């Protein structure tokens, strides 16, 4: 816990602050609505394209498909990448631990936008390869998010009591067997919230594909639709709603998986915090 549970005075103070901030948010939302209305952003003509089947079939749905395709492909590669390098960082062998740490720290330190840009233009200029925008986006997503997932995996396994490993070794299991049969099943449950949070980040990061002209959902909503119908604000609002619905669906599925996993496994470790709030300990 980051702070003690509040007492009666603390709960009253929190309630007052909650009400105040809620009122402020309502006022800001109303002012934003008024400004949009004054600028004519709620005119029916600007929203009419979203009632047309051809707009959805030819623009929005293909962009959504490209976004989901890039996110799914990157997630299917990044998750195993994270587990492999996260476990490698816990190895007692320096020749395994140190290169894994170097790879993870290197790709965590580089902005994702630069990796996507370099994957396409650097691959062509330096290596003479023809890299599609889809491949460039997936490469950047895998290397960055896979490195973050590696730290989540390392933190999740490290959060388990040391006695788990000692007991496994005491009954004759090898270290690899202890990791596979004892630690990983418990750690997956512990890491689930943080892993899902990072996969949501991965999904949103597909929008950075604009640097290589990837035809994703954001490209359809912020470039193509406004260029044809001059409705930038309504288009961005609709795209934001679609992103929110997708991420909420991912969160609900992940919550269901976590509850099901916790019913089938018992662990004494606490869940790993999501990446935004997690402070990862330095590797030995």
Q: pLDDT of 9-37, one tens digit each? A: 888 888 999 999 999 999 999 998 898 88
Q: Tokens 């490290």 belong to which residue?
A: 158
**pLDDT score, position 61:** 94
Is the model more confident about 116 or about 259? 116
Comparing 26-30, 74-78, 118-122, the range with the smallest average pLDDT is 118-122
Q: Tokens 């390392």 belong to which residue?
A: 154
The H or E element spanning position 218 is: helix 217-219
Q: How far apart are CA 273 and CA 281, in angstroms?
A: 13
Is the model more confident about 157 or about 276? 157
Q: What is the mean pLDDT of residues 180-184?
A: 81
The answer to whether 232 touches 222, Cβ cutoff 8 Å, is yes
Q: How far apart are CA 21 and CA 163, in angstroms?
A: 46
**pLDDT score, position 264:** 60
Highest mean pLDDT among 38-52, 118-132, 140-154, 185-199: 140-154
Q: How far apart are CA 113 and CA 115, in angstroms?
A: 5
Q: How far apart are CA 8 and CA 63, in angstroms?
A: 51
Q: Is the pLDDT of residue 141 over 80?
A: yes
Q: Is the pLDDT of residue 282 over 70?
A: no
Q: What is the mean pLDDT of residues 94-123?
A: 91
Domains of the chain: 42-277 (1.10.3720.10)
The answer to whether 95 touches 245, Cβ cutoff 8 Å, is no
**pLDDT score, position 1:** 40
Q: Is the pLDDT of residue 283 over 80?
A: no
Q: What is the mean pLDDT of residues 258-270?
A: 60
Cα of first residue to Cα of last residue in the chain, in angstroms, is 25
pTM of the model: 0.79
The torsion angles phi and psi of 116, rounded to 5 degrees, stand at: -65, -45
Averaged pLDDT of the chain: 84
Residue 70 confidence class, pLDDT cut points 50, 70, 90: very high
């Amino acid at each position: 816990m980051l702070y003690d549970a509040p007492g009666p005075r603390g709960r009253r103070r929190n309630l007052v602050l909650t009400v105040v901030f809620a009122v402020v948010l309502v006022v800001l939302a109303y002012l934003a609505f008024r400004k949009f209305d004054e600028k004519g952003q709620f005119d029916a003509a600007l929203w009419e394209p979203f009632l047309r089947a051809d707009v959805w079939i030819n623009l929005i749905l293909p962009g959504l498909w490209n976004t989901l395709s890039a996110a799914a492909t990157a997630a299917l590669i990044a998750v195993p990448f994270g587990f492999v390098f996260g476990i490698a960082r816990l190895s007692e062998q320096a020749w395994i631990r140190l290169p894994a740490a170097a790879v993870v720290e290197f790709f965590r330190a580089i902005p994702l936008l630069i990796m996507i840009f370099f994957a396409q233009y650097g691959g062509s200029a330096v290596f003479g390869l023809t890299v599609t925008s889809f491949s460039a986006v997936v490469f950047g997503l895998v290397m960055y998010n896979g490195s973050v997932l590696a730290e989540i995996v390392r933190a999740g396994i490290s959060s388990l009591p040391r006695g788990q490993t000692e007991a496994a070794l005491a009954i004759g299991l090898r270290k690899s067997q202890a990791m596979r049969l004892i630690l990983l099943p418990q750690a997956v449950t512990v890491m689930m919230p943080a892993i899902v949070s990072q996969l949501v980040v991965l999904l949103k990061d597909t929008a950075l594909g604009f640097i290589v002209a990837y035809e994703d959902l954001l490209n359809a909503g912020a470039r193509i639709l406004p260029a044809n119908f001059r409705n930038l604000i309504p288009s961005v609002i609709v795209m934001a709603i679609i992103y929110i619905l997708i991420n909420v669906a991912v969160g609900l599925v992940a919550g269901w998986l976590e509850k099901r996993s916790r019913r089938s496994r018992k662990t004494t470790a606490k869940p790993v915090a999501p990446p935004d709030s997690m402070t990862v300990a330095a590797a030995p």
